[in-house]
Each structure stands twice: as C-alpha cells, then as structure tokens.
Amino acid sequence: AAAVLGHQFAGLPINCEDACDANDDGKINLADSVYLLTYLFTFGAPPASPGPLTDGPDPTDDTLDCVSAGC
C-alpha cells in the first residue's frame, strides 16, 4: 500500500505495475491502497495474481506491465 501511495503521490518508481493494481481494474489509484489495507487489517479478499500469495503474469488483459524479473 505504501509503494502504491508513493508512486501515485510522490512519483516514486515501482517495478511491477501489475502487482500494484491490487483490485485488478487495470489502473493504479487510491482504490488499490484501500483494497490492500482492507486485506491486511480487516481480512478482506486477497489481491488477484500477481500478488502477495501468487507469482506470475496477470491473467487480466490491461496496459499495466511488470519490469521486475521477480514477478
């Protein structure tokens, strides 16, 4: 959630846009941070792939990309 906020509001770089799109809507925005914080602190639904529980490519067709070799 901190990386998403840092990217959105301070322009900090991120290595995997797909992993930051926690709600899998094809956009990185404040809703992704809210989704992640809900998952972490109120046991909400886990983020879709790629996420904290699964590696690999994003099965959703969108324009977000991953430049990290670890995804």
Give the DSSP letter of residue 71: -
* Cα 24–chain centre separation: 8
Residue showing tokens 């998403």: 4
Q: What is the pTM of this model?
A: 0.78
At 60 the pLDDT is 79
What pLDDT digit, counting tens, does each position of 13-56 carry? 988 888 888 888 989 999 999 999 999 999 888 887 777 777 77
Q: Which two tokens stand for residue 50?
A: 């790629």
